[in-house]
Amino acid sequence: MSSSYKKMKSDTFDLISGLIESNKILTQSLQYNEKLSRKLIERIRSLKTRVDDLEQLNFSLKEDWEMCDAANDKKLETIHKLKNKLEAQENNFKIGGVN
């Protein structure tokens, strides 16, 4: 065999060995990326579920707040009516007491 053939055979072997090693590295990288993607997808799903839960809680709290706000408005209206009535009675008492 000629030395050029041996050199070409050695270079080819080195090239194939390098390609095999590169293929292993790429395969490991792809497997890692797939694993990471699955984790990220699961995390996104988990966070989406949490956001949905929080939105539902927010909606429920908003409804409760609006009901309490309406009830407080009615109570304030009643207080103002009672205050006006009391002031009217006090004025009538003062007017009646002075006469």
Check residue 99 and give its pLDDT. 47
Distance CA 63, CA 23 (A): 59
pTM (2 d.p.):
0.54
Check residue 42 and give its pLDDT. 98
Q: Which phi and psi (to 5°) does residue 84 adopt?
A: -65, -40
> Can you say whether the dihedral through the CA atoms of 6, 7, 11, 17 is positive or negative?
positive
Check residue 91 and give its pLDDT. 84
List the chain residues with pLDDT less than 50. 99
